[in-house]
Amino acid sequence: MHVPDTLRYTGTHEWVRREPDGTLSVGITDHAQDVLGELVFVEFPAVGRQVLGGDACAVVESVKAAADVYAPLAGEIVAANEALKQAPGQVNKDPYGAWLFRLKPAREAELSQLLDAAAYKKSFA
Amino acid sequence: MNRTPLHAEHLAAGAKLVQFAGWEMPLHYGSQIEEHHAVRGDAGVFDVSHRLALDVEGEGARAFLSRALANDVRRLRQPGNALYSCLLAEDGGILDDLIAYRLDEARFRLVVNAATADSDLAWLERQRSGTLQLRPRRDLAMLAVQGPHAREKFALALPELRAAAEPLEAFCGAGHDGAFVSRTGYTGEEGLELMLPAAHAVDAWQRLLAAGVRPCGLGARDTLRLEAGLLLYGQDMDAGVTPLECGLARTVDPASPRDFLGKQALLSRPRRFQALGLVLETQGGLMRAHQAVRSSRGEGMVTSGGFSPTLQASIALARLPPESRPGERVRVAVRDKLLDARIVRPPFVRHGRILV
């Protein structure tokens, strides 16, 4: 499974990318999409919602199962990738391009507490 | 873990394998949704060798099956005829569903589910008497070739079976040189099912693929049968329910003079619910097995649910209060929400067309 070195990860199979504006894009990893199978439904958190790290805030449903997607850190939801509503399978095709939501972290420094690629790989190997 | 004679072929075709009823089987070969569409629009092949063929031979075979099966084997008028039936316990509960074929004048073949094969065999052995023989045919492989172009591609790929396959009417089969081909399936499309000696399975599989038949896994098999409104044993029916509660009344005839196992119970046991289809009318998730259903008539439960690639919506089979009618609205508990769904009479899709 592909695990880019440039991203951060959670133990619950989210990836996190810091954008130039300081917000964090969040998606599910290649491993997560492979285990779930083809996605057919995505539900996003409301923009403006305040979340704590570990809060369930999006849902992905595949041909096989439903799974929660968790906020990697505390902060405010500032965007949702609505384009995925019509094309949830994009998450399977391009898991690291198809972000689900963007989060403005309450404490930016916490990003470094998330797993790096090597640690994430170990977590499910 | 059991493996079918086609295991290496599945790996070569890029299968993602899963454990299913003690067998290692292909779930998909990359995309179960594309496989689903291939069967609705062209042709696909499924390895269904995990099912068990059970030959019933010898004196009294017909009388034995007349008592053991809920459907009437006298409907198998000619060799080659096929019949769908439940196998019932004394209390009317469903032990399995199966296809019974009449092979020749006095020989029958039952094709049963993988998960229940051992218990079916033990159950039938207990009912057996005299010189009758029950012969499990683990020496056979089984392929289902399904889709609007399945029959023509089958004939191109396997010309030696063409003469046997081409004249077949629906729900009929014919033998040829140790193989048996029938115009049956589990997808709601045209197609054929082939039982053949395990040693010939790889060759047949490769020739079907070379003729442009797409390999399809259990994932597509499940969404295709759900759209076709066909029940899955262990999910839509089990030993806790009767055929009358599962929409299978047409496969039993408790009013006939014939005595069969479970008949008395079917006559006396109250019908607690009926099986109907649901189409989700609002966005918000997917219907799945075990979700609760609420309606003005009472409570129900989803027995099979998921995403229909043909309808591009979530569909389900559900147990609903007996008075429920197609066209009525219900609410389904999907995760933390109650979503609106419409009751329909299955099938949802047949021969590529949406019917609901």
Secondary structure element (H or E) that encloses residue B110, with its range: strand B108-112
Beta-bridge mates of residue A115 = A9
Whole-angstrom Cα distance, residue A13 to residue A45?
A: 18
Residue B185: phi and psi, rounded to 5, are 175, -175
Between chain A and chain B, how many beta carbons pairs sit less than 8 Å apart? 33
Q: Which of B19, B27, B30 has its CA nearest to residue B47? A: B27
Side-by-side strand order, sheet with A39-43 = A39-43, A56-62, A66-70
Quick one: B89 and B26 in the same domain?
A: yes
Q: Which of B203, B238, B269 is the last residue of a domain?
A: B269
Say whether both B211 and B294 belong to one domain.
no
The Cα–Cα gap between B23 and A43 comes to: 35
Are A38 and B288 an interchain contact pair (Cβ–Cβ within 8 Å)? no
The answer for residues whose C-beta is within 8 angstroms of residue B20's C-beta and 6 or more apart is B50, B114, B218
Are residues B305 and B264 located together in one domain of the fold? Answer: no
Which of helix, strand or coil describes residue B265? helix
- Token match 């046997």: residue? B164
Task: Compare CB distances from B307 to A40, A43, A59 and report the shortest one's residue.
Answer: A40
Residues of B in contact with A40 (CB under 8 A): 33, 286, 307
> Nearest CA to CA, how far is B153 from chain A (Å)?
28
Boundaries of domain holding B73: 1-269
Structure tokens at B222: 């499940």
Q: Nearest-CA residue of chain B relative to A92?
A: B31
Q: Select from B269, B301, B317 the last residue of a domain.
A: B269
Contact B219 A37 (CB under 8 A): yes
Please report how the helices B32-41 and B218-227 are oriented relative to each other, as an axis angle in degrees rounded to 10.
50
- The answer to whether A61 contacts B286, with C-beta atoms less than 8 Å apart, is yes
The tens-digit pLDDT sequence of chain B (356 residues) is 999 999 999 999 999 999 999 999 999 999 999 999 999 999 999 999 999 999 999 989 999 999 999 999 999 999 999 999 999 999 999 999 999 999 998 899 999 999 999 999 999 999 988 889 999 999 999 999 999 999 999 999 999 999 999 999 999 999 999 999 999 999 999 999 999 999 999 999 999 999 999 999 999 999 999 999 999 999 999 999 999 999 999 999 877 899 999 999 999 999 999 999 999 999 899 999 999 999 999 999 999 999 999 999 999 999 999 999 999 999 999 999 999 999 999 999 999 999 99
Kindly state the tokens that stand for B117. 């094969």
Find the distance separating the first CA and the last CA of chain A, reported in whole Å. 10
Domains of chain A: 8-108 (2.40.50.100)
B342 with B222, same domain: the answer is: no
Q: Give the tokens for residue B351.
A: 């021969």
B287 & B264 share domain: no
Q: Give B31's contacts in chain A (Cβ within 8 Å).
A: 38
Number of domains, chain B:
2
- Distance, in Å, from the CA atom of B237 to the CA atom of B46, rounded to the nearest integer, reads 23
Residue numbers of B between 300 and 329 with CB closer than 8 Å to A: 306-307
